[in-house]
A and B are shown apart, each in its own frame.
Chain A
Amino acid sequence: MSLKEIEYEPLLPIEFTRPLQTIDICIASVEPKKTNDILKILSSKLSMVDMNIGHLKRIKKSEKHEKLLDVIINTSADVSKTEKDIKELFKNNNINEDAIKDFRLCQASKYPAYTKSQFNEWKNVWPMIFKDHDSQHNLKLSEEDLEKAKKWLNIALEKAEKDKSEVPNNQFNNCTIIVDPSTSKVLAIETDNRIKCNHPLKHSVMECIKTISELHTKKDNLDSENENEQSNKRRKLNTEIDSSQPYLCTNYDLYTIKEPCIMCCMALVHSRIGRVFYLKKNENDGGLESIHQIHIQPELNHHFQVYKIKVKQ
């Protein structure tokens, strides 16, 4: 099997994938002429950002009252209290309390829209402000990235296929490659060695991390040797890895056939991997889309980008 035309799907944080959820907002209708004064008071006392609804527009044309505008007051469900408080506030600011009427509850999106399609759907509930997070998060892959993904995944598939003949009936057959994208150098390429070594934890991801750590310790040993003994090997290692970096896989790319399991995903957090590309879902134990989403788990101190690579239909 060899990949020809491929496409990708970034595995995104919940913000990008969540469906519409609404909250109650308290609104009232105001005369357009008085709007400026009213908005000034409202935004100083009840700021949209403070109420966690900075993603909503404050004002829209009223559908219920012709020629009036509907304005968001707050997110309280107690309409009569809100009405009382606002009228009091208006009185203190010399605004006629008749300028505002019909305090009522209305629905709006609870969360900001992160994608255009969320925005197009959710703004119908109540008008929203849209910030394009897609480009901000830089989750788009360039043509070059995609070409590289195809190249490395094809190498992984080839190596896994070869391993099949060496280890027959291996239900764990897999191959992982870790690449430094700044040099395009392969730092580790490993198959799943659970059967070969009779060791249930020798997954290809763990084996790759081990290989890279050995490059680091070797390099350190060579570095401490006499300068005269500087070998070609050392020079070669020097160009491949930077052992001064604090974490093993910082900014590295990982290509693998199967979605890494939970253990391997957390090992990648501990190693500070940059990006992960994979082909197949791991239904039973996958840590990126199947069971957990470890790469975006908010409580963890490192997050990484994940791309699921698909064959173009």
Chain B
Amino acid sequence: MEDIIEKNNENKNESVNHQNEDKETIEKFMREALIQAEEAYDACEVPVGCVFVLDNEIIGKGRNRTNETKNGTRHAELEAIDMILKNHSPEVLKKCTLYVTVEPCIMCAAALRLMEIKKVYYGCSNERFGGCGSIYHLHNESYEIESGYLKEEAIMILRKFYIRENKNAPVPKKKSNRILKTEIM
């Protein structure tokens, strides 16, 4: 998987333009998303994190929680949306921008469309499951995407995670290692 992340992200020529938010603002919120990813890493979850921003203010944060909940669908984006909907009506998402360290998977990309999110910034691509360009283009005719912000950091923490997982495997079982490597989110 590390290879896949690397290859895919090296090959992509992201055109980074700054239509809505300036680079400084985008990187500031992307750092917040990375803090969430680090929290996931510390909790032995696949390190992906995100923040939802409304009028320059974070109204929801989330990180992967699939191991803790034993629910393979508890990705950062869905965690954050559930948190937001505790205090807001669903319409608020229409005015929100999402900053997420990794390209949303097909499930999350579809969920963001259902929520009618305004815009998504993501760090690195998700070659395995990506729904915003890698496998499907679910954002088309729904929400804007821009990618490549703090990409290196997003990849580094994933790589760190997989190295640790492989080291901690009691018996180096080839197959289980391979499964882990490919499960990026």
- Give me the interface of A with B, judged by CB distance under 8 Å: 198-201, 206, 209-210, 213, 216-217, 220, 243, 247-248, 261-263, 266-267, 269-272, 285, 287, 292, 294, 297, 299-301
Docked Cα-Cα span, A294 to B135, in Å, equals: 10
Q: In the complex, are the beta carbons of A216 and B70 less than 8 A apart?
A: yes
Also in contact, A201 and B111, with CB within 8 A (given A209-B73, A213-B69, A266-B106)? yes
Q: In the complex, are the beta carbons of A301 and B182 less than 8 A apart?
A: yes
Also in contact, A248 and B71, with CB within 8 A (given A201-B78, A262-B106, A266-B106)? yes
Q: In the complex, are the beta carbons of A292 and B136 less than 8 A apart?
A: yes
B63-75 contact mask (Cβ, 8 Å, vs A): 1 or 0 = 0000001111110
Q: Which residue of A lies closest to B68 (CB)?
A: A217
The winner among A210, A213, A220, A287 for most chain B CB atoms within 10 A is: A213
**Residue numbers in A under 8 Å from B69 (CB-CB):** 213, 217
Docked Cα-Cα span, A243 to B71, in Å, equals: 11
Asked whether B26 is an interface residue with its Cβ less than 8 Å from the other chain, the reply is no
A216 CB to nearest B CB, Å: 4
Also in contact, A198 and B70, with CB within 8 A (given A266-B106, A294-B106)? no
Also in contact, A266 and B105, with CB within 8 A (given A198-B90, A292-B136, A300-B129)? yes
**Residue numbers in A under 8 Å from B70 (CB-CB):** 213, 216-217, 220, 243, 248
A221 CB to nearest B CB, Å: 11
**What are 21 pairs between A and B in contact, CB < 8 Å?**
A200-B90, A201-B114, A209-B73, A247-B72, A248-B70, A261-B110, A261-B114, A263-B106, A263-B111, A266-B105, A266-B107, A267-B107, A269-B107, A270-B105, A271-B73, A285-B110, A294-B106, A297-B135, A300-B128, A301-B128, A301-B182
B residues 71-88 with Cβ under 8 Å of A?
Answer: 71-74, 78, 81-82, 85
Asked whether B157 is an interface residue with its Cβ less than 8 Å from the other chain, the reply is no
**Residue numbers in B under 8 Å from A200 (CB-CB):** 90, 114-115
**Residue numbers in A under 8 Å from B78 (CB-CB):** 201
The winner among A216, A263, A294 for most chain B CB atoms within 10 A is: A263
**Residue numbers in A under 8 Å from B74 (CB-CB):** 213
**Residue numbers in A under 8 Å from B136 (CB-CB):** 262, 292
- Give me the interface of B with A, judged by CB distance under 8 Å: 69-74, 78, 81-82, 85, 89-90, 105-108, 110-111, 114-115, 128-129, 131, 135-136, 138, 182
**Residue numbers in A under 8 Å from B73 (CB-CB):** 206, 209-210, 267, 270-271
Q: In the complex, are the beta carbons of B107 and A263 less than 8 A apart?
A: yes
Q: Which residue of B lies closest to A249 (CB)?
A: B72
A212 CB to nearest B CB, Å: 8
Q: In the complex, are the beta carbons of B131 and A266 less than 8 A apart?
A: yes
Docked Cα-Cα span, A36 to B90, in Å, equals: 74
B50 CB to nearest A CB, Å: 15
Docked Cα-Cα span, A299 to B128, in Å, equals: 7
Q: In the complex, are the beta carbons of A262 and B72 less than 8 A apart?
A: no
Also in contact, A263 and B129, with CB within 8 A (given A292-B136, A294-B106)? no
The winner among A216, A243, A287, A299 for most chain B CB atoms within 10 A is: A299
**Residue numbers in A under 8 Å from B71 (CB-CB):** 209-210, 213, 248, 271
Those 6 A-B pairs whose CB atoms lie nearest each other, nearest first: A213-B71, A266-B107, A263-B110, A270-B72, A266-B106, A262-B110
Q: In the complex, are the beta carbons of B90 and A263 less than 8 A apart?
A: no
B120 CB to nearest A CB, Å: 15
A1 CB to nearest B CB, Å: 27
Q: A213-B69, A299-B128 are in contact. List 16 more A-B contacts (CB 8 A).
A: A198-B90, A200-B90, A200-B114, A201-B78, A213-B71, A220-B70, A248-B71, A261-B110, A262-B136, A263-B107, A263-B108, A269-B107, A270-B107, A271-B71, A271-B73, A285-B110
A286 CB to nearest B CB, Å: 11
Docked Cα-Cα span, A261 to B71, in Å, equals: 19
Docked Cα-Cα span, A221 to B105, in Å, equals: 30
**Residue numbers in B under 8 Å from A201 (CB-CB):** 78, 81, 111, 114-115
Q: In the complex, are the beta carbons of A266 and B115 less than 8 A apart?
A: no
Q: Which residue of B lies closest to A248 (CB)?
A: B72
**Residue numbers in B under 8 Å from A198 (CB-CB):** 85, 89-90
**Residue numbers in B under 8 Å from A209 (CB-CB):** 71-73
**Residue numbers in B under 8 Å from A220 (CB-CB):** 70
Q: Which residue of A lies closest to B74 (CB)?
A: A213
Q: Which residue of B lies closest to A219 (CB)?
A: B70
